[in-house]
Amino acid sequence: MANTVIIGSQWGDEGKGKIVDMLAATSDVVVRFQGGNNAGHTIAVNGKQTILHTIPSGILHDGKTCLIGNGVVLDPFVFLQETDSLAENGLDVSPRRLGISHKTHLILPYHVALDRAREAYKAGGKIGTTGRGIGPCYEDKVSRIGLRASDLANPDLVRTKVRQALLEKNVLLQSLYKAEPLDPDKVIDQVLGIADRITPYLTDVSGVIQESMRMGKKILWEGAQGVHLDVDHGTYPFVTSSNTVSGCASTGTGVGPNNLDRIIGIAKAYTTRVGSGPFPTELNDATGDFLREQGHEFGATTGRPRRCGWLDAVILRESARLCGLTEIALTKIDVLRNLPVLKICVDYRYKGQRIEYPPQGENALAEVEPIYEELPGFSEDISTCKHFDGLPSNVQKYIQRLEALTQVRIAYVSVGPDREQTIIR
């Protein structure tokens, strides 16, 4: 298997965890390159479910090296909770196989407090963030006042940075958002209290990847969220604060883009979105409820019900060109069972014109009207299908139509949550 990047090609929650877990079996190194514990990657093995927020999904495979790149924002407290819980389940989470880039920015308690206070303060226009401090942490990175993982080895630097940060943030918290200020000494004690547990994980992530590639090992980059939540290319301002497109695999781990061989976009066979923002194919009706119930569409991180709608090929076409998708892995097609008619949005109507790609401009996507094509549904149980040819012809037609609409080959079809329930074409 070549070096591979996995990204979500819709608004997140496409089932990346399962596909990463599957491809991890034939990779040597699994690395996260953006986002933080706003992600929730659900993996089912032998019927047992694990949700990972911070640690790469490859951790469930013995002997794989798992890395957290510089593009990630890491909540060190959540990281330790996750390592503790994985260790309790008998997994090796030692620094022998798990590493954090020296350059990874840390999510601290004041980032979480600001994220929540800011969302609570907004009367309208809420983004509906996950409240994990993601945006405020990336803000500090870009403002050049962030605390990085390597700083944990330098207590004086931690003290100086936390004090300086809180000078400004406490003014915001108290005066503007009418929230409780944070005591700098307490935050410093909290951070220094875990420093010794984090510093053994500090790793030159770029160096490890380069060296692994030199030895002929295979790298898997595990994306989080989805292309249309990208801070530049997504439905701004209703986006996350990182670049979720495939190019970030390079910048977020310190590896040249020429090393990214395969770029697999994960796409759910219908569309979901959590939080606010335009969603052209959203269904606020019984079909939307059906998808939510059958697909268990409730957030893995926040438990929020997800908004559900028909498959949107325009969104996927855009992801294909923004990320250079070489393949698509189509997930949860089994959820569509028993719907008499399946609709795919093939183009949009916008200001009287038929368009093939999303329009540019803030919230322009809220003004499009989806143009649908109808395909016949299926009622057969496909959860044990092992081959494409064994799928009912209506399912095959749906998949082939999506390939034609996106001009990207559908290389994997997932027909159930378990590792084994995947058709490889």
Positions in the binding site for ligand IMP (CB under 6 A): 11-13, 38-40, 127-130, 132, 134-135, 224-225, 229, 238, 240-241, 274-275
Residue from 13, 28, 334, 347 carrying the catalytic annotation: 13
In whole angstroms, how close is the CB of 244 to ligand IMP at the nearest point?
9
Burial category of 367 from C-beta neighbours within 10 Å (exposed 0-12, middle 13-18, buried 19 and up): middle
Beta bridge pairs of residue 203: 101
CA 394 – CA 108 distance, rounded (Å): 50
Query: Given the complex with ligand IMP, which of 99 and 234 has the nearer CB atom?
Result: 234
User: Which residue number has the CB closest to ligand IMP?
Assistant: 275
> Three-state SS for 17?
helix
**Which of the 8 DSSP states describes residue 53?**
S
232 noted as active-site residue = no
13 noted as active-site residue = yes
In whole angstroms, how close is the CB of 276 to ligand IMP at the nearest point?
6
In whole angstroms, how close is the CB of 241 to ligand IMP at the nearest point?
6
Query: Given the complex with ligand IMP, which of 224 and 399 has the nearer CB atom?
Result: 224
Residue from 21, 28, 41, 115 carrying the catalytic annotation: 41
In whole angstroms, how close is the CB of 197 to ligand IMP at the nearest point?
25
Burial category of 419 from C-beta neighbours within 10 Å (exposed 0-12, middle 13-18, buried 19 and up): middle
Residue 372 Cα distances to 10, 274, 347, 369, angstroms:
18, 23, 7, 9
Nearest residue to 76 via CA among 163, 162, 196:
196
One-letter amino acid at 44 equals A
Residue 391 Cα distances to 291, 373, 414, angstroms:
20, 21, 12
Query: Given the complex with ligand IMP, which of 218 and 306 has the nearer CB atom?
Result: 306
Query: Given the complex with ligand IMP, which of 33 and 238 has the nearer CB atom?
Result: 238
Query: Given the complex with ligand IMP, which of 126 and 397 has the nearer CB atom?
Result: 126
In whole angstroms, how close is the CB of 115 to ligand IMP at the nearest point?
7
Q: Would you name the residues annotated as active-site residues?
A: 13, 41
